[in-house]
Amino acid sequence: MKQSIGLTYNSLHREILTFFVALVWLVNGLYCKILNLVPRHQEIVGHILGMEYAHTLTLLIGISEIIMAVWILLRIHPKYCAVFQIVIVITMNIIENMLVPDLLLWGRLNLIFAIAFTSIVWYNEFKLNNINN
C-alpha cells in the first residue's frame, strides 16, 4: 500500500511540474512574443539577429514556444523533448549573456534562472519519471 501511495504522490508532482513547464513555454511564446506584451524580447532578437527581421523572427520564436508547450503536454517522446528544452534554454541564455546582458530581465543572473528551469525539466523527466516506471 505504501508503494502505491508513493507512486501516486510522485505522479501528482510529475503532473504539476509538467503543467508548470508547459505553462512557462506558453506564456513566453504567446504573452511575451506573439502579443509583444514584453517588448524586451523583440529587442533581444533584434540585437542578436538584426532589427530588420526582429518582429517576424520574434513571432516565429513565439510560435515555436507554443509548439513546445503542446509537445510537452502531449508527451510525445518526452525524453527527447526534455533534452531539446535543456539544450535550447541553456544555449539561448549563454548567447544572450554574451551579446545582450543589458537587455535581460536580471542581467547576467538570468543564466541562474535558466539553470533552475532546466533542472526542473531534467528532474521531472529523468528522475520522477524513473520513480514512476
- The per-residue pLDDT of the chain, averaged, comes to 91
pLDDT digits (tens, 9 = 90+) for 30-51: 999 999 999 999 999 999 999 9
- Domain residue ranges of the chain, discontinuous segments joined by +: 2-132
pLDDT for 2 equals 44
| Res. 5: pLDDT tops 60 | no
| Interacting residues of 43 by C-beta distance below 8 A, sequence separation 6+ | 54, 100, 103
Cell of 91: 544555449
Q: What is the pTM of this model?
A: 0.88
| pLDDT tens digit sequence for 60-83 | 999 999 999 999 999 999 999 999
